[in-house]
Amino acid sequence: MVSKSIPKELQTPEICVDAIIELSDITPKFYRILKQMEPFGPENRKPVFMTENVRDNGFGKQVGSDKSHLKLNLFYGAEKRTFGAIGFGLGTKLAIVANDFDIVYSLSENTWNGNTSMQLELKDIR
């Protein structure tokens, strides 16, 4: 009964973007400032950013035992600085990354084999 009374456009989940930035804005100093805002939780949500017109370096792939996640290496602009990105539950969107696309994400740290690096946690791509 409730789903019948709510308009269709209100039934689609929305992602609130805190700021539109360029990948070149993401520096170790920028990340240190974000970490000062911790701890994140229900009353203090992790900042969500949007970056437009990014590209995958061509090695994007579906990962996970059921291929439901998306692993990308993104670059932006003339400096071609690369950022690792993971999109949990976004594996079906692999075809989108063949051309320029927009991303919505949060920043996190990824530790693998003893190395820690900044990583983009993708919320959605278009």
Helix (H), strand (E), coil (C) string for 57-81: CCCCEEECCCCCEEEEEEEECCCCE
Q: Which of 50, 48, 61 is nearest to 97 (CA)?
A: 61
Q: Among residues of the chain, what percentage have pLDDT more than 90?
A: 64
Q: What is the pTM of this model?
A: 0.85
In CATH terms, the fold of domain 16-125 is OB fold (Dihydrolipoamide Acetyltransferase, E2P) (2.40.50)
* pLDDT exceeds cutoff 80 at 61: yes
What is the pLDDT of the chain when averaged over all its residues? 90
Q: Give me 106's structure tokens.
A: 């949060």
Q: Any idea where the domains of the chain sit in the sequence? A: 16-125
